[in-house]
Amino acid sequence: MSRVHDALRRSGASPTDFQSQPRNVAPVSRTADPHPATIHPDFDNLLERIQEIPFNPSQDAHLIDASRPHEAPSEEFRTLRTRLNHLQSLQPIHTVVVTSPSPAEGKSMAAVNLALAESHLAGNHTLLCDFDFRRPLVHNLFQVDRSPGITDYLLGKATIEQIIKKVAGTNLCILTAGEAVINPLELLNLDKVRELIKNLEKVFNWVILDTPPLLFAADANLLSTMSDGTVLVVRLGVTTVDSITRAIQSLCENNILGTVVNGARRGELYSKYTYYHTYYYSKPD
């Protein structure tokens, strides 16, 4: 565990469970307004044209629940949400890549729960995109079909309104990965990907991109150049100093918004909130 702490200290972050520790964020590299008035006709009134699906997560998805807002994981992701929303008030941040140095560090869980936390705010339309074409998980977590999705749209096999689904009772929309492709990186290099992201950020306040791990594919590095910032997910006792260092270097350290430390024991998470909520919600005798 100390190795992870040392690496986080070097990267400018503090090891707080599930909380994003913002660095001194460099100005967004875009020279143009990321939310110009013009929008591609296919994206005009998009929210009114997409299909709604029930919120039916798989039993082992470990998603935060808006009906149980005082559970510790929900508190932690609301803290992360607050930090990102504060950064958004300082500069135009709307598209965020969520990734990790290596597999099995919890990046997809963090991306999904961050998107859910953002969508719990009134009017805060949020889109969760599964850009991990190599090992997509979003469709499984929400128990929907993988296709049609992003790859189908990029290949011209589906329209934008056919691939986005709105989760009933929330401000969350999901965009699944789509059919499997043998050349994910080549597909991501298409100009159509950049155009897609730019148009989506004109429709949604937040666009959260779940991507492959940084050290196992170049996909996340490429997508980070099309986004406003990156959140790096590491796991206590698993992520090494070397992998964190190499992951940060691969991003050139110029658009890392913060670090999410994953893998705290359940008892540690809940112990932080037990006294406060027991006191606050107990009825007087």
> In which band, very low, low, confident or very high, does the pLDDT at 74 lie, cut at 50, 70 and 90?
confident
Region 45-61 average pLDDT: 90
pLDDT band at 67 (very low <50, low <70, confident <90, very high): low
pTM to 2 decimal places: 0.81
Q: Mutual orientation of helices 241-250 and 2-10 as an angle, nearest 10°?
A: 20
- For 192-240, what is each residue's pLDDT tens digit? 999 999 999 999 999 999 999 999 999 999 999 999 999 999 998 899 9
Q: Is the confidence at residue 165, as pLDDT, over 70?
A: yes
Among 6-10, 72-76, 198-202, 215-219, the minimum mean pLDDT is found in: 6-10
Give me the pLDDT at residue 231, please: 96
Residue 10: pLDDT over 70: no
What is the pLDDT, as a whole number, of residue 13?
46
* CATH classification for the domain delimited by 2-18+47-281, as one of 3.40.50.261, 3.30.230.10, 3.30.420.40, 3.40.50.300: 3.40.50.300
Cα–Cα dist 238/101, whole Å: 11
Please give the pLDDT value at position 22: 39
